[in-house]
């Protein structure tokens, strides 16, 4: 079964098409690097343009719970939603898909218990 990688980053306050293009580009690069070993979970595939933030975040957190890894886009920390996703990913002890697109598993010896 493929590992699932959730993409997290700023969306609100950005030009929708530019944000979507960034998420789609990263999704493509992750898929290109890992092929069938991963399934990429891109919020632009299940959240609608203009959808209320709270509704979109509920969908994102629900989908995040199904994932093994999270990949943070640059400037993710400027996004309230991405910071919420980061907090949940830490609590779920998810691995990280880092900036060179390597999958790094959560080390059970580190992090909050």
Per-residue pLDDT tens for 12-69? 999 999 999 999 999 999 999 999 999 999 999 999 999 999 999 999 999 999 999 9
| pLDDT attached to residue 109 | 44
CA nearest to 95, candidates 48, 49, 46, 38: 38
pTM of the model: 0.91
| pLDDT attached to residue 21 | 98
| pLDDT attached to residue 58 | 98
Name the residue with higher pLDDT: 112 or 82. Answer: 82
Inform me whether the pLDDT recorded for 113 exceeds 80.
no
Look over the chain and give the mean of its residue pLDDT values, rounded to a whole number.
93
d(CA 72, CA 107) in angstroms, rounded, equals: 18
Q: What is the DSSP string of 31-99?
A: HHHHGGGEEEE-GGGTS-TT--HHHHHHHHHHHHTT-SEEEEPTTGGG-HHHHHHHHHHHHTT-EEE-T
């Amino acid at each position: 079964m493929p590992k699932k990688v959730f993409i997290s980053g700023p969306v609100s306050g950005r030009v929708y098409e530019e944000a979507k293009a960034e998420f789609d580009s990263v999704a493509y690069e992750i898929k290109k690097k890992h092929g069938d070993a991963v399934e990429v979970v891109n919020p632009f595939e299940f959240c609608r343009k203009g959808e209320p933030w709270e509704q979109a975040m509920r969908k994102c957190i629900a989908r995040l719970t199904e994932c093994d890894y999270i990949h943070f886009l640059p400037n993710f920390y400027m996004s309230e939603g991405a910071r919420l996703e980061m907090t949940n990913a830490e609590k779920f002890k998810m691995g990280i898909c880092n900036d060179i697109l390597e999958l790094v598993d959560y080390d059970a010896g580190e992090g909050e218990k």
